[in-house]
Amino acid sequence: MKLITLAAISGAAFLAAGCVIIDADSDGYSSHYSSHDDRVYSADVSGDTVTVRVPSNGCTDKSYFEVDVDREDHNTFYVEFEREREDHCRALMPEGVELVYSFSELGIPAGASVVIENPVGR
């Protein structure tokens, strides 16, 4: 009986030490963003470019996003950025990363009006 008690106390001491293991590929992985939240930190349309700052854990680039462009009328386009995959890197990037898209890249004619559909802010 004393041996079982000693083993239980040793196990409790080990747990109290705070050993934490995180599997980056697990469903419970917590990152700087929710994969279902298409919020961008900031957005800017100037000249013929669209610039968005998005959450990142260090590896996010344009390939992580699908960009949906819809024409409203002759000269107005609605643009939405949709994250397609999670960033499992481990860099501390509280400011996220900036992604720059040209109008040409998005299929938008020069001089058009652009509306960003994503929620903007933190």
What does the pLDDT look like over 66-120, one tens digit per residue?
999 999 988 999 999 999 999 999 998 999 999 999 999 999 999 999 999 999 9
Residue 26 lies inside a defined structural domain of this protein: no
Residue 45 lies inside a defined structural domain of this protein: yes
Q: Which of 101, 114, 102 is nearest to 62 (CA)?
A: 101
Which residues are 38's β-sheet partners?
Answer: none
At residue 43's C-alpha, the angle toward residues 38 and 47, to 5°, is: 140
Q: How far is CA 26 from CA 21, 22, 47, 86, 91, in A?
A: 11, 8, 42, 11, 18
Q: Are 100 and 51 in contact (CB under 8 A)?
A: yes
Length of the chain: 122
Kindly tell me if the per-residue pLDDT of 65 is higher than 80: yes
Residue 7 lies inside a defined structural domain of this protein: no
Total domains in the fold of the chain: 1
Q: How confident is the model at residue 24 (pLDDT cuts 50, 70, 90)?
A: very low
Residue 42 lies inside a defined structural domain of this protein: yes
Residue 86 lies inside a defined structural domain of this protein: yes
